Amino acid sequence: MQIPIAARPTLSRDLDRSLVKVESDKGRLRLRFTYGGTRHYIAVGLPDSRVNRIGAQQKSTQIELDIASGNFDETLKKHKPPKLPLKNARQPP
């Protein structure tokens, strides 16, 4: 059975029509999108700059591809930047 063209998810290079938006919040980049009726935000972990926006756009394209292929990780672990250890945090013995 063919899916009507209007119902197919699109992977547009046009930023206004993309499924995952790159935006700046207080000078830091984040990704915003809706999946399964839930709005998601992912902090990219980088300041807003031209070079960092390119990297954020690549990450948004990867999320769009994962959604389109049915491989989207709803825990968002795959797409979030790794957490850095705190300087003063206690190390377990």
Q: What is the pLDDT of residue 11?
A: 45
Q: What is the pLDDT of residue 80?
A: 82
Q: Which run of H or E residues covers position 63?
A: helix 50-69
Q: What is the pLDDT of residue 40?
A: 92
- 3-state helix vs strand vs coil in the chain, percent to 5: 25, 25, 50
Global confidence as pTM: 0.68
Q: Quick check: 89 pLDDT over 90?
A: no
What is the residue extent of each domain of the chain? 5-69
Q: How confident is the model at residue 75 (pLDDT cuts 50, 70, 90)?
A: confident
